[in-house]
Amino acid sequence: MNWPLFALAVAAFGIGTTEFVIMGLLPDVARDLGVTAPAAGMLVSGYALGVAAGAPILAILTAKWPRKQALVGLMCLFILGNVLCALAPNYVFLMVARVVTAFCHAAFFGIGSVVAAELVAPQKRAQAVALMFTGLTVANILGVPLGTAFGHAAGWRSTFGAVTAIGVLAAIMLWTMLPKKIPMQAGNIFQEFRSIIDTRVQLSLLTSTLASISMFSVITYIAYILLDVTGFTTQQESWVLLLFGAGITVGGLVGGKLADWKLMPVMCGVFLCIAVVLGLFSITSHYKWPTLATMFAWGAFAFAVVPGAQIRVLDTARGAPNLASTLNQGAFNLGNATGAWVGGLAISAGLPLTDLPLIGAFFALLGLATVAFSASLDKRVRAPA
């Protein structure tokens, strides 16, 4: 057992749970606070925008902090945000609390990814990042379904109280299990900002954004699809999300190994598979058993792209790994916010819920095109040598 990686995974589990569990609870939150489904969906967008906005701010604030202290401090911010969510008396307060919680997200995963990659041999970097992100995938396989069920039974506020307890446990584990001294890259944070202007770095960030738009244009409103289109009950919904989480877990681990093998071809193949599966979901969502198979496959492919996308950013921004990794988390969450907004826009326009997977498939194809173009630039860079 690599205990430092385990501690990072537990923290990722808490962050992933608080980010994604709101989706299964959206109908409950909307009824309790008296808002519409698209307005409730903006709680997902608000969190994601908080991550995107917090990425550069926290990158600057934590640039000179020791890595261990930075990670523990970010978890303390996470704890504060979840306490505020649990106590939120109205929609506006809950939105602000979600943004406060989100501020720790990008910096934690950004710094944590670099730390995870430094804890293993160079040829296993993607696998180490995937192991840390296993906490995020387990959040989908256990945290989100259990949190959703708990929220249905005891009220959605109780779920955020439980996540607060997870945050406290994670902070203790990080403090006790991470090495006392973790190497830091020397340099000036503003010089690092200049180094990420490179076209390939920007394309890498765009790839992460498109991957998230593809996923969140659908997953944000998955409760409505499962309940209103497929016909699952509220209790069955939690089990379907559990199956989706299982697919995410498998996809994250396998995707990490494949990314260490052949990064760009694997990413192209994964984006193509996402587009195909989402295209099928627009049809299978009408039937329960086909929906189960599609949800598992979608989860696997959707998360198989994450370790590769994170390593791709580190590879193209070698002069600014901490900053680039943090901004990549912001890019992912900018995609989350955009996807939730696009999905809500489609619903508000009167499109059927079954059109949402087709929208997700379209953005997956854009991601495929971006990766292919980025790979062509790699060949041009290597050509003179």
* DSSP per-residue codes, 217-263: HHHTTHHHIIIIII---HHHHHHHHHHHHHHHHHHHHHHHHHHHH-H
pLDDT for the residue numbered 275 = 97
The reported pLDDT for the residue numbered 384 is 54
Amino acid 189: pLDDT = 63
Helices 199-219 and 263-284 pack at an angle, to 10 degrees, of 20
pLDDT string in tens for the chain (385-residue length): 578 889 999 999 999 899 888 878 888 888 899 888 888 888 887 887 888 788 778 877 877 788 888 999 999 999 999 999 999 999 999 999 999 899 888 888 888 888 887 777 777 777 788 788 788 778 867 888 888 889 988 989 999 999 999 999 999 999 999 887 776 665 566 667 777 788 888 999 999 999 999 999 999 889 889 999 999 988 888 788 888 888 988 888 888 888 888 889 999 999 999 999 999 999 999 999 999 999 999 999 998 998 889 889 878 877 777 778 788 888 887 888 889 889 989 999 999 999 999 999 999 999 999 999 999 988 777 655 4
- Report residue 271 CA to chain centroid gap: 16
Place of tokens 């696009």: 342
What's the pLDDT score for residue 385?
Answer: 47
CB-based burial, 279-302: b 16+ in 10 Å, e otherwise: bbbbebbeeeeebbebbbbbbbbb
pLDDT, residue 78, reads 94
Q: Tell the residue number behind the tokens 């991601």, with chain if given.
A: 367
Residue 151 has φ and ψ, to the nearest 5°, of: -65, -40
User: Would you list the DSSP string of 174-229?
Assistant: HHHHS-S------S-HHHHHHHTTSHHHHHHHHHHHHHHHHHHHHHTTHHHIIIII
pLDDT at 125: 75
pLDDT at 186: 54
Q: Give the relative orientation of helices 144-154 and 156-177 as an angle to the nearest 10 degrees.
A: 140
Residue found by looking up tokens 């990420």 in the block = 196
Q: CA-to-CA distance for 126 and 253, rounded, in angstroms? A: 9
Distance CA(106)–CA(59), nearest Å, equals 9
The length of the chain in residues reads: 385
Q: What is the pTM of this model?
A: 0.77
Q: Residue 123 has what DSSP assignment?
A: G
Q: Which domains does the chain have, with CATH numbers?
A: 3-179+189-382 (1.20.1250.20)
